[in-house]
Structure 1
Amino acid sequence: MSELLLEVNGLKKYFPINGGILGWKKGEVKAVDDVSFYVKKGETLGIVGESGCGKSTTGRLLMRLIEASEGNVLFEDKEITSMSKSQLRKVRRDMQMVFQDPYASLNPRHKVEKILEEPLIVHGIGSKEERRKRVREMLEVVGLSSYHAKRYPHQFSGGQRQRIGIAKALMTKPKLIIADEPVSALDVSIQAQVLNLLKDIQKEFQLTYIFIAHDLGVVRHISDRVGVMYLGRLIELADSEELYEHPKHPYTKALLSAVPIPDPDIKREMIMIQGELPSPANPPSGCAFHTRCVECMDVCKTTRPIEQKLPSGHYVACHLYNQ
């Protein structure tokens, strides 16, 4: 647990805004803006935030599905942001992704058997019979039967399709799985089943997760540590229980105040976030949250806060905690 599996330093992704007949660059959208964190072997790091905060873009940058503007990503001490395609293909055996939409992430023209076998063919793993055996094994691991291999994706429910997506991610025996909103498209009852499945297979295969979601209740259920993103920046990071019981950043406090508590005797003060989410194409100066923060100070409007570690173990980027 003490060994680092993944380390991210100063990760940025700016998308250009083009306009005019000649397509001149008019500006840029700062989708991910100087994000740094690490992930230990065997743990689950949850990343939360409202829509548009850059959490899904961060996941895709880690897999190099899109290229970073700046920064570097180290997987098992290997720099992957500068790897060639052939080098990256070898690393991707150990890094897999589960996508949000189980309807769009599976090829509707292929049977499940071919969908699951494809990663093994791409990486040249096993003979035809060994690959078929692996397909049957992974279907059973995710709670499906071997006869499901002969069916097409449209013959399954949403929860079953997401199980197939998880099985596909497991085919190459990865060390890290990045799950991008894996249960947000599912019914609540099915969400619990899929979350429990993810926890079971993590224990069975000694997996490491990066779990991206906007549902704070879901993230608490599965994560060892949780990072909170706002407008492309990581503003707070701490152990799961510590963050949920003692949030530090005003944005995190506001998010948690809106989470329902299943106890009618407990009353919690709702913290309202004022105003609209600023555009990532024109983020506020200083602290990105200062335009909506009830505890805003003058320094917040001009100076970007530096991430610092508090005695509680929190990493937080907020001027309220400057020494």
Structure 2
Amino acid sequence: MKKSLVEVKNLKKYFPIQKGIFSRTIGHVKAVDGLDFTIYEGETLGLVGESGCGKSTTGKMLLQLLHPTEGEVIYEGENLVGMPSGKLRKFRKDLQMVFQDPYASLDPRLTVFDIIAEPLEIHKVVQGKEKIRRVEELLHIVGLSGYHARRYVNEFSGGQRQRIGIARALALNPKLIVADEPVSALDVSIQSQVINLMQDLQEQFNLTYLFIAHDLSVVKHISNRIGVMYLGRLVEMADKHELFDSPKHPYTKALLSAVPTPSPMIKKERIVLQGDVPSPANPPSGCSFHPRCNECMEICKTEEPELKHIDGQYIACHLYA
């Protein structure tokens, strides 16, 4: 039986909209609006959706880089939400992040050695010669050399910088890594190298990933299960093979129809969504996807569907009520 590592319950993040000289709150941007899911030990859970659907916000809330408005993040039986900073500090080693932009997430004023050694110093893991040995070991693990430690990040390519970011995330032997679109800023040829590296590291160190992306082909390659988000909510979650072979939600079908096929001989129907993504500050009533859905029913306009377990998949759609 799979052991759960992280359980997310009714997770929400509302950003206030303020106006006037007194900064009165006149509304909220509902970036994440009630998420429930579990990440199991040793798996990769992919999280996909259009830009602005709340994927990155979800990842940051898991690590408490953003404080949720409501909900729980249960890690190994402890609720991280609202936990005092002193107590939370001991969990920081287990929860790390690889950021989207390797050009912005690494301090250009520091050498590679200082960047990777910083978490070791903060948590007082190793000192002196042992720290030097650990940094060089991490560089070799991600495919770089020990002499790279003396260089600055502006001397590296995008793929090499992302390897440095991965080395920093591995420094404290974490259990969970949130990878926030870690290859979207890289060339296609480099993307495959970084993805293969992450898979090798997962097997070597028994890592668990939350892999956030908008490229479904990349998510299919690395993930065990995939969750599809729309306007701050999960609309479908399933094993990757079930999701790609038998998508249920109209939004998932539209996303998959846009994935290029490897052969020009393979024909498939392209589902074009009408209109734009609604504003999270003023979401539609009922199902948030109904203004763009070509299978919309009257109930969709007034009642919000629940995420239900149907035939091995989790679906939030009135078509499967």
TM range (shorter): over 0.9
What is the match of residue 314 of structure 2?
Answer: 315
Runs (4+) off by over 6 Å: none
Contact in 1 for aligned 2:108/2:154 (Cα 8 Å):
yes
SS of the residue aligned with 2:291? coil
Question: Structure 1: which amino acid aligns with 2:96?
Answer: Q
SS of the residue aligned with 2:279? coil
1:29 maps onto 2:66 in alignment: no
Question: Structure 1: which amino acid aligns with 2:161?
Answer: R
What is the match of residue 286 of structure 1?
Answer: 286
1:272 maps onto 2:272 in alignment: yes
SS of the residue aligned with 1:266? coil
In 1: Cα distance, 2:282 partner to 2:162 partner: 36
Q: Displacement, 1:71?
A: 0.2
SS of the residue aligned with 2:26? strand
TM value normalised by structure 1: 0.99
1:299 maps onto 2:299 in alignment: yes
SS of the residue aligned with 1:25? strand
Q: Percent identity?
A: 62
Output the aligned Cα RMSD.
0.7
Question: Structure 2: which amino acid aligns with 1:225?
Answer: R
Q: Displacement, 1:296?
A: 0.3
Q: Displacement, 1:291?
A: 0.4
SS of the residue aligned with 1:65? coil
Q: Displacement, 1:264?
A: 1.4
What is the match of residue 221 of structure 2?
Answer: 221
SS of the residue aligned with 2:226? strand
Q: What do residues 215-265 of structure 1 show as CA deviations (whole Å, max 9, x unaligned)? A: 001100000000000000011000011101110000000000000010111
Structure 1 portions without partners, runs of 5+: none
SS of the residue aligned with 2:202? helix
What is the match of residue 161 of structure 2?
Answer: 161
SS of the residue aligned with 2:193? helix
In 1: Cα distance, 2:115 partner to 2:221 partner: 30
Question: Structure 1: which amino acid aligns with 2:12?
Answer: K
In 2: Cα distance, 1:36 partner to 1:284 partner: 21
Structure 2 portions without partners, runs of 5+: none
Number of aligned pairs? Answer: 321
1:128 maps onto 2:101 in alignment: no
Q: Displacement, 1:130?
A: 1.3
Contact in 1 for aligned 2:121/2:127 (Cα 8 Å):
no
1:146 maps onto 2:173 in alignment: no
What is the match of residue 53 of structure 1?
Answer: 53
SS of the residue aligned with 1:148? helix
What is the match of residue 137 of structure 2?
Answer: 137
Aligned runs of 1:1-323 on 2, under 5 Å? 2-311=2-311, 313-322=312-321
